[in-house]
Amino acid sequence: EDKVVQSPLSLVVHEGDTVTLNCSYEVTNFRSLLWYKQEKKAPTFLFMLTSSGIEKKSGRLSSILDKKELFSILNITATQTGDSAIYLCAVEASSGGGADGLTFGKGTHLIIQP
Amino acid sequence: DTAVSQTPKYLVTQMGNDKSIKCEQNLGHDTMYWYKQDSKKFLKIMFSYNNKELIINETVPNRFSPKSPDKAHLNLHINSLELGDSAVYFCASSKIFAWAHKYEQYFGPGTRLTVT
């Protein structure tokens, strides 16, 4: 069974700190790893990673994938209170028969204190 | 110009009733999904539909049935609602860009179902 494990499950830091969120996975026929941010409503897409070692960057957020060690990290620098959310890691695996849904981790609940 | 929309946003109903949640996407995606998010915020896939064909059914009770009138819509019908069905249900859609080995999936705003 495909598995996605995120750590830590919750994290409380002060504004301005840098945080690193972890995601490890065990899937058959890996296709891609995705990061989402969920505040009060639907998850919003952050990054999709398919290749090892290539950093994706968007403002203060960046993410990298290690396909050999089967993990990804999401970094947030100079955190702001608006970064407080649940960060979800999901993995897409190919069954060979077409599109599959995503397997999600339990998420990291990040709280940024002013 | 919402990409993935769901209606209703909130649904409160009694045990035993039958209800439907609608989902529409205007992204031109070819696959649509339903996810259930439980009280601990854990997201789990329920169904996916690709070209009107059910691809996944993750041990979901047969009281739940997805119906797709066309590629842009995937509605979720639930019969004989139970207390344990209370959750937030998210619709999503995706497209595979096989030539670029690229995949994107976007979520609707969610429907909070409360069964009393």
Q: What's the rounded mean pLDDT across residues B1-10? A: 86
CA atoms of B93 and A101, how far apart (whole Å): 10
Most B CBs within 10 A among A38, A86, A87, A103, hence the mutation to make, goes to A38
In chain B, the percentage of residues whose pLDDT exceeds 90 is 46
pLDDT of residue B87: 92
B106–A45: do the CB atoms touch at under 8 Å? yes
A99–B41: do the CB atoms touch at under 8 Å? no
pLDDT per residue over A26-50, tens digit each? 988 888 899 999 887 678 889 889 8
pLDDT per residue over A94-112, tens digit each? 654 444 567 888 889 999 9
Residue in A with minimal Cα distance to B90: A42
The answer to which of A14-18, A36-40, B25-29 has the lowest mean pLDDT is A36-40
Count of CB atoms within 10 A of residue A111's CB? 13
pLDDT per residue over B36-64, tens digit each? 988 777 788 888 888 767 776 667 888 99
B97 interface with A at CB cutoff 8 Å? no
pLDDT per residue over B69-78, tens digit each? 888 999 999 9
Dihedral, B51, B41, B18, B49 alpha carbons, nearest 10: 10
Q: What's the rounded mean pLDDT across residues B106-111? A: 87
**Has residue A15 got a pLDDT over 80?**
yes
Asked whether A49 and A105 are in contact (CB, 8 A), the reply is no
Of A32, A99, A106, the CB nearest to B42: A106
Q: What is the DSSP track for chain B?
A: --SEEEE-SEEEE-TT--EEEEEEE-S--SEEEEEEE-TT--EEEEEEEETTEEEEE-S--TTEEEEEEETTEEEEEE-S--GGG-EEEEEEEEEEEGGGTEEEEEE---EEEEE-
pLDDT of residue A28: 83
Task: Find chain A residues with C-beta within 8 A of B94's C-beta.
Answer: 99
Asked whether B32 and B22 are in contact (CB, 8 A), the reply is no
Q: What's the rounded mean pLDDT across residues A53-79? A: 94
Q: What's the rounded mean pLDDT across residues B15-32? A: 93
B41–A92: do the CB atoms touch at under 8 Å? no
Task: Find chain A residues with C-beta within 8 A of B109's C-beta.
Answer: 41-42
Alpha-carbon gap: B48 to the closest alpha carbon of chain A (Å)? 7
**Has residue B2 got a pLDDT over 70?**
no
pLDDT per residue over B80-98, tens digit each? 999 999 999 999 988 766 5
pLDDT of residue A2: 75
pLDDT of residue B76: 96
Q: Which of residues 60-89 of B touch A (CB under 8 A)?
A: none
